[in-house]
Amino acid sequence: MTASDALFHEASPGVFTRKCIGMEAMSCFASEFGCSHVVSSCSVKLANEIAPEDLKKAIQSSMIRLRHLVPGIAVKASPTRPPMGDWSHEYRVPDTLEDVFAWVEEVVFVHENGTSFLDNHERIFHESWWRATEGRYSYELHIVPNLSAGSNSWTFVLSAHHSNADARSKWMVFDKVFEFLCDELDHVAPPLSSFEWGKEVSRLPTAGQMVWSVYDTGKPEPLPIVDPSTAPVAPENVIPWSYPVRVSNDNPHGTDITSAVRLTPEETVRFHGACKAHGKTVTMVVTALQTLADLEASLHIAGKVGPERFKKVWSGYNTATHFPLSSLSIDMRQRMPEAYRKFGLDQTTPLMAMDVVALLFAFEPYRKLVKADEASLTASRNADKSLFWDELVPSVEEVWKSQDISIEAYRTRAATFTAMANNPDLELDFHGSIAPACTSIGDMTRLGYLEAFRPASGHKTLIVEDLTTTAHSGSPGAVMNVVQYDNELRLKLVRGSKFTTQEDLDLQGRVLKEWIQLMTRS
């Protein structure tokens, strides 16, 4: 693959392609195993009542306008070396406005039946995901009535393939969808006939790793050369916390179970206050709490299963030197040149601008805070704040700060991910590790996302009353998404349904909430 392959180019008349790079390629590969699909939802209150068919027309027009500004939302991913290899993005320029309407009919769905906001989200989350080899567009928008919230209330669900969407770009897309929808509802939107199709291809997104060289020189810089035959391995003398994966049921791979933890505004204020008082970031503290709860819940669940299972989990607890986090997401968009941080008329931000690192935390602080008793098949807490704030969190911080998150490291990791995803002989086991993962999106207000539509904004046409986000996993390890909106911190756990039950994941959620309360209570 040459560097120029990372830029969209016209492969045939009206058809533009580029190679998937880094996490784009890895997300394509992982989606074949039920991972790497992101679903985010907003609970929307409209100021005026509107018939579903009229709402659909307004949303379709908004999405068409958005496609002209952000053509990346109409990209398809596929392997150019089937069945899985050399993953690429493809964009087709519509010949006519009828072609654009055909596209929007494929990606916008207005459902007649709905329940509550969170139930609507869960329903679409489980029903609307796809593998890269299925040849579907990267983004779908589902609108479901919030029947439990009265009239004019709707769930907007953005379902996106992770190869072309990251933890933050989905909210940027939502921002534009709502801006353009308000224009439609207020009858001030430009006519669809005014858009000149073919001009939009200049805004097809560059691969994130190429942004800096394209900005500086106009040309993409080749990625470092890496060995595609091997996956990264743990350092010597490291024994990661692990235990044999247990298949709990006959559910198919690619299906998930979720559990939500939400802090009230008062609890959120206390949480931020505790982080600030100890000089730690929310991401570091949340990571410490997530891994701590994961450890305790694993022991509780093993004890419920029986002595044999507990012994296997206890053995891992007893011998581990480090607690593994399989991936922590890093947003690279905020480090890009200004023109590449937003959806612009000339340059545009990559829709996937995420890097990930795997981390190993010293295990001894965990053993001090969670005690395991093989004889009684139980786990107990040592809720000592000083141990948590003075030992565990600093150990997490030390590992985090030791990571190389430079642009060159981002490019090197991207080269590794690309080589792994495109290597047909490399076997990656997405269902063999219990290591958790974390994506901390941040505070939406601080990031500036959806700010015009917050309840406090008093927007005259549309208010976003609530939101949630979930990433498909399918794996034994719990994936957690963290986001704050309207002064409430939301945490969402996801595990492959083949490896857990709703009861067990809810137990982990309760343990997480209890640790948060214990460690942030004054």
Q: pLDDT per residue over 173-232, tens digit each?
A: 999 999 999 999 999 999 999 999 999 999 999 999 999 999 999 999 999 988 766 656
| Cis geometry, peptide bond prior to residue 436 (ω within 30 degrees of 0) | no
What is the rounded end-to-end Cα distance, in angstroms, of the chain? 56
Domain 3-197 is found in CATH 3.30.1340.30? no
Do you know the residue count of the chain?
522
Distance CA 442, CA 234 (A): 29
- The token duo for 266 is 């008062």
The candidate with the shortest Cα–Cα distance to 475, out of 36, 19, 6, 29, is: 36
Q: What's the gap between Cα 115 and its chain centre?
A: 25
Lowest-confidence pick of 364-368, 373-377, 405-409, 471-475: 471-475
Task: Give the CA distances from residue 362 to residues 234, 288, 366, 402, 426, in Å, rounded to whole numbers and listed in that order.
Answer: 14, 11, 8, 13, 30
pLDDT, position 230: 61
pLDDT, position 432: 78
Task: Give the CA distances from residue 388 to residues 60, 82, 128, 359, 516, in Å, rounded to whole numbers and listed in that order.
Answer: 50, 49, 40, 18, 11
Residues of the chain with CATH 3.30.559.10: 3-197
Asked if pLDDT for residue 453 goes beyond 90, the answer is yes
pLDDT, position 422: 86
What average pLDDT does the segment 88-110 reach?
97
Q: What pLDDT, in 10s, does the model give residues 283-292?
A: 999 999 999 9
Distance CA 397, CA 376 (A): 34
- The token duo for 75 is 């990209």
Distance CA 257, CA 125 (A): 10
What average pLDDT does the segment 71-78 reach?
96
Phi, psi (rounded to 5 degrees) for 463: -125, 135
What average pLDDT does the segment 11-38 reach?
93
The candidate with the shortest Cα–Cα distance to 209, out of 506, 407, 406, 467, is: 407
Q: What is the dihedral of CA 227, 233, 236, 237, to 10 degrees?
A: 180
DSSP code of residue 210 = G
Share the mean pLDDT of the chain: 94
DSSP code of residue 338 = G
Asked if pLDDT for residue 426 goes beyond 80, the answer is no
pLDDT, position 150: 77
Tokens 């590969």, residue?
29
DSSP code of residue 343 = B
pLDDT, position 33: 83
CATH T-level assignment (fold) for domain 256-520: Chloramphenicol Acetyltransferase (3.30.559)
pLDDT, position 231: 57
The candidate with the shortest Cα–Cα distance to 469, out of 481, 459, 458, is: 481
**HEC profile for 395-458?**
HHHHHHHHCCCCHHHHHHHHHHHHHHHCCCCCCCCCCCCCCCEEEEEEEHHHHCCCHHHCHHHC
Distance CA 418, CA 85 (A): 10
Contacts of 519 (CB under 8 A, 6+ apart): 274, 289, 383, 385, 388, 389
In the structure, what pLDDT confidence band is assigned to residue 522 with cuts at 50, 70 and 90? confident
- The token duo for 171 is 């909210």
Contact call for residues 472 and 129 (beta carbons, < 8 A): yes
Q: Is 367 left (phi over 0), alpha (psi -120 to 50) or beta?
A: alpha
- The token duo for 79 is 């392997």
DSSP code of residue 82 = S
In the structure, what pLDDT confidence band is assigned to residue 456 with cuts at 50, 70 and 90? very high
pTM of the model: 0.95
Q: What pLDDT, in 10s, does the model give residues 246-268?
A: 887 777 666 899 999 999 999 99
Continuous segment of H or E residues that includes residue 156: strand 153-161
Report which residue type is found at 7: L
- The token duo for 311 is 């012994």
- Report, in angstroms and rounded to the nearest whole number, the Rg of the chain calculated over CA atoms: 23
pLDDT, position 32: 86
pLDDT, position 439: 95
Tokens 């969808």, residue?
177
CB atoms within 10 A of CB 305: 15
Asked if pLDDT for residue 519 goes beyond 70, the answer is yes
Q: What is the dihedral of CA 241, 243, 247, 251, to 10 degrees?
A: 10
Q: What percent of the chain has pLDDT over 70?
A: 96
Query: How many CA atoms lie less than 13 Å away from 31 in the CB half-sphere?
Result: 32
What average pLDDT does the segment 394-398 reach?
97
The candidate with the shortest Cα–Cα distance to 328, out of 255, 271, 401, 226, is: 401
pLDDT, position 253: 65
In the structure, what pLDDT confidence band is assigned to residue 147 with cuts at 50, 70 and 90? confident
In the structure, what pLDDT confidence band is assigned to residue 234 with cuts at 50, 70 and 90? low
Q: What pLDDT, in 10s, does the model give residues 303-360?
A: 999 999 999 999 999 999 999 999 999 999 999 999 999 999 999 999 999 999 999 9
Q: Pairing state of beta strands 87-92 and 76-79?
A: antiparallel
Contact call for residues 237 and 487 (beta carbons, < 8 A): no
Residues of the chain with CATH 3.30.559.30: 256-520
